[in-house]
């Protein structure tokens, strides 16, 4: 309604892949979601389960953080809505009481001037959790960035919405200099650790390359890897 999309928390990855609304809004959706688990798990894995599990590398969480999504928490006849970004208070620590249920997710559908991309790196191409993942929604009007939402997983204790980077991008021209300056702010926002999925330095490098990949993928006539180095 009015450009808004509401999704039940019990919606599965397969449901999204088969949704005409989602396929129309996100033309690369199937390619993005094929990076998420396997077919049997996609048939069962729900948005609500991914959000509440609160993994710092949840793929759905990164996806919907970049959509600036809101979630509704229900308790008996009462309910409240918060931004998904505000749901995560610390590692596995949620703004949710034990008797609240995550019931719905809502977000504004991308406009024709908006561009969305999801990137993920894992030890295996398929059937693996992310080492680092990230998503972006960016809106351009006459080469000016009028909207920017950027998420990242695997680079902090919670799924991260990179607010400082997003705020910097607003009002800037779409250029190499803007991307490079935004990258510096991005690196200041994250705090990766050494673990089995890689060293902190490696994760910083991964996110840098995936950040570049967003712009190379969405604006291939303007950016290449060589031009961004």
Indicate if the pLDDT at residue 127 is higher than 60: no
171 lies in the same domain as 92: no
DSSP-derived letter for residue 222 is: T
- pLDDT on residue 35: 74
Q: How confident is the model at residue 124 (pLDDT cuts 50, 70, 90)?
A: low
Q: What is the CATH number of the domain that holds 163?
A: 3.30.390.50
Calculate the dihedral angle through the C-alpha atoms of 74, 53, 45, 40, rounding to the nearest 10 degrees: -160
pLDDT digits (tens, 9 = 90+) for 17-39: 999 999 999 998 888 887 776 78
138 lies in the same domain as 171: yes
Which residues form the domain of 150? Answer: 114-227
Contact by Cβ (8 Å): 212, 225: yes
Structure tokens at 17: 């892949």
211 lies in the same domain as 197: yes
Q: Is 142 left (phi over 0), alpha (psi -120 to 50) or beta?
A: left
Contact by Cβ (8 Å): 156, 175: no
137 lies in the same domain as 83: no
Question: Among residues 108, 136, 158, which one ends one of the domains?
Answer: 108
Question: Among residues 85, 108, 131, which one ends one of the domains?
Answer: 108
Contact by Cβ (8 Å): 153, 82: no
Structural domain count, the chain:
2
Indicate if the pLDDT at residue 155 is higher than 80: yes
Question: Pick from 211, 214, 161: which is nearest to 189 by CA?
Answer: 161
Instruction: Give the 3-state secondary structure percentages of the chain, helix then strand then coil, rounded to 5.
Output: 35, 30, 35
pLDDT digits (tens, 9 = 90+) for 69-79: 999 999 999 99
pLDDT digits (tens, 9 = 90+) for 47-95: 999 999 999 999 999 999 999 999 999 999 999 999 999 999 999 999 9
Number of residues that make up the chain: 229
């Amino acid at each position: 309604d009015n450009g808004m999309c509401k999704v039940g928390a019990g919606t599965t990855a397969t449901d999204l892949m088969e949704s005409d609304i989602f396929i129309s809004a996100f033309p690369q959706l199937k390619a993005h979601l094929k990076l998420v688990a396997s077919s049997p798990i996609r048939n069962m894995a729900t948005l609500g389960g991914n959000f509440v599990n609160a993994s710092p590398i949840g793929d759905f969480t990164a996806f919907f953080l970049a959509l600036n999504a809101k979630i509704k928490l229900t308790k008996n006849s009462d309910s409240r809505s918060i931004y998904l970004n505000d749901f995560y208070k610390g590692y596995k620590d949620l703004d949710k009481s034990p008797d609240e249920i995550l019931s719905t997710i809502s977000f504004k559908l991308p406009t024709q001037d908006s561009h969305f991309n999801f990137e993920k790196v894992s030890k295996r191409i398929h059937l693996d959790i992310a080492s680092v993942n990230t998503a972006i929604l960016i809106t351009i009007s006459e080469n000016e960035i009028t909207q920017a939402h950027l998420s990242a997983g695997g680079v902090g204790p919670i799924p991260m919405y990179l607010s400082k980077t997003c705020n910097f991008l607003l009002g800037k021209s779409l250029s190499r200099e803007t991307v490079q300056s935004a990258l510096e702010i991005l690196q200041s926002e994250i705090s990766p650790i050494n673990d089995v999925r890689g060293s902190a330095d490696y994760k910083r490098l991964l996110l840098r390359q995936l950040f570049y990949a967003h712009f190379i993928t969405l604006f291939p006539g303007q950016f290449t890897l060589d031009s961004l180095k």
